């Protein structure tokens, strides 16, 4: 396979060039296949910001296409958390007439959809919790020019683990970015799940990373456990949140597998590298003409993994025989 990656990290420094038209992994391995085609597919990857989960989703797609034997020319541009940059990135990819846009995050996908309206450029997304609520698709099986893999994890299962940790847990705390529709959807879903378990939810909305210390402090006084939803701003500060929670003796749970390594007590969630590989399988079908994108339904993530951070567990006075840790992998 021929792989070329053009990577833009400091987008602010490259905007003039763009406007001018310049251009933790798992053991699951896809078998190599022989590539007899001389076609090189140009893929534009737009990513809202840098943090491990989104980076893994990007690498998973690239590795999967490599394993499938496709020749790809990847143009990766990171918006550095600036919403306005998403528009510039997507318009650049349209002008470059890429063969496919891979949008990582809800905000990136929304902009890519708008920029490709009326164009013959397919868009795949990942790291999107609810593509219907975010108006990317009208239904998971009603596709026009955009589809992909969601990162939705059922909140009810996470909250059941909270009850297993300590029976007297009744109040769940959530920190979320008020500017992400993806996060608002998840907050509503957690509230619904909490009602079913006779629990309540306390939330603190933030608009910048600087709001996080006060948010943790507020929730430490009102809630029994801190639940990490899939929120980009929260994810970029997950180590800070984990440390502050430990200082306040707060239990922490996440739906993102990799966050256990960052200090969260327990993650029962998906692996974003595998999410990217799943999107890669879809991308190969679209690029090679095996299937039209309108016939490719939105897919759900496959497989969850429970991981416990031992240092956090011990700091909170818990032991490995806790009911909630049954079947978990312990990370030292």
Per-domain residue ranges for the chain? 3-152+272-295, 155-270+305-331
Rounded CA gap, 29 and 303, in Å? 15
pLDDT band at residue 2, thresholds of 50, 70 and 90?
very low
Using alpha carbons, select from 271, 285, 273, 3 the residue that is nearest to residue 124.
285
* Strand ranges in the chain using DSSP code E only, listed in sequence order: 3-8, 40-47, 71-78, 100-104, 123-128, 146-150, 171-177, 200-206, 225-228, 251-256, 266-270, 305-309, 329-331
Query: Quick one: tokens of 261?
Result: 């390594």
In tens, the pLDDT along 155-165 reads 998 999 999 99
How crowded is residue 288: how many other Cβ atoms within 10 Å of its Cβ?
Answer: 13
In this chain, the answer to whether the domains covering 3-152+272-295 and 155-270+305-331 adopt an identical fold is: yes
Q: Is 11 a residue whose pLDDT tops 90?
A: no
pLDDT of residue 6: 57
pLDDT of residue 4: 55
pLDDT of residue 9: 45
Rounded CA gap, 22 and 5, in Å? 14
pLDDT of residue 243: 97
pLDDT of residue 7: 55
pLDDT band at residue 51, thresholds of 50, 70 and 90?
confident
% of the chain residues with pLDDT over 70: 89
In tens, the pLDDT along 259-311 reads 999 999 999 988 899 999 999 999 999 999 999 999 999 999 877 789 999 99
pLDDT of residue 188: 93
pLDDT band at residue 12, thresholds of 50, 70 and 90?
very low
pTM comes to 0.76
Q: Does domain 3-152+272-295 have CATH number 3.40.50.2300?
A: yes
Q: Does domain 155-270+305-331 have CATH number 3.40.630.10?
A: no
Strand partners, 102: 45, 124
In tens, the pLDDT along 211-267 reads 999 999 999 999 999 999 989 899 999 999 999 999 999 999 998 889 999 999 999
């Amino acid at each position: 396979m021929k792989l070329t990656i053009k990577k833009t990290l400091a987008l602010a420094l490259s905007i003039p060039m763009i406007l001018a038209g310049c251009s933790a992994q798992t053991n699951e391995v896809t078998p190599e296949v022989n590539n007899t085609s001389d076609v090189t597919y140009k893929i534009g990857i737009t990513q809202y910001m840098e943090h491990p989960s989104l980076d893994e989703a990007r690498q998973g797609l690239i590795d999967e296409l490599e394993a499938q034997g496709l020749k790809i020319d990847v143009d990766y541009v990171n918006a550095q958390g600036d919403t306005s940059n998403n528009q510039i990135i997507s318009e650049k990819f349209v002008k470059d007439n890429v063969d496919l846009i891979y949008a990582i995050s809800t905000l990136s996908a929304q902009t890519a959809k708008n920029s490709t309206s009326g164009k013959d450029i397919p868009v795949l997304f990942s790291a999107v919790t609810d593509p219907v609520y975010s108006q990317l698709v009208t239904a998971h099986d009603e596709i026009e020019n955009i589809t992909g893999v969601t990162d939705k994890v059922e909140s009810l299962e996470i909250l059941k683990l909270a009850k297993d940790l300590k029976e007297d847990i009744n109040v769940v705390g959530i920190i979320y970015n008020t500017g992400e529709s993806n996060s608002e959807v998840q907050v509503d879903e957690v509230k619904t799940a909490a009602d079913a378990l006779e629990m309540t939810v306390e939330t603190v909305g933030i608009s910048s990373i600087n709001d996080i210390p006060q948010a943790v402090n507020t929730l430490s006084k009102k809630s029994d456990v801190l639940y990490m939803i899939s929120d980009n701003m929260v994810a970029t500060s997950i180590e800070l949140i984990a440390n502050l929670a430990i200082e306040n003796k707060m239990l922490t749970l996440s739906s993102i597998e990799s966050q256990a390594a960052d200090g969260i007590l327990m993650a029962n969630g998906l692996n974003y590298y595998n999410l990217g590989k799943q999107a890669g399988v879809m991308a190969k079908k679209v690029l090679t003409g095996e299937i039209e994108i309108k016939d490719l339904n939105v897919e759900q993530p496959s497989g969850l993994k429970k991981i416990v951070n031992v240092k956090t567990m011990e700091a909170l006075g818990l032991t490995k025989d806790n009911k909630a840790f049954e079947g978990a992998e312990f990370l030292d």
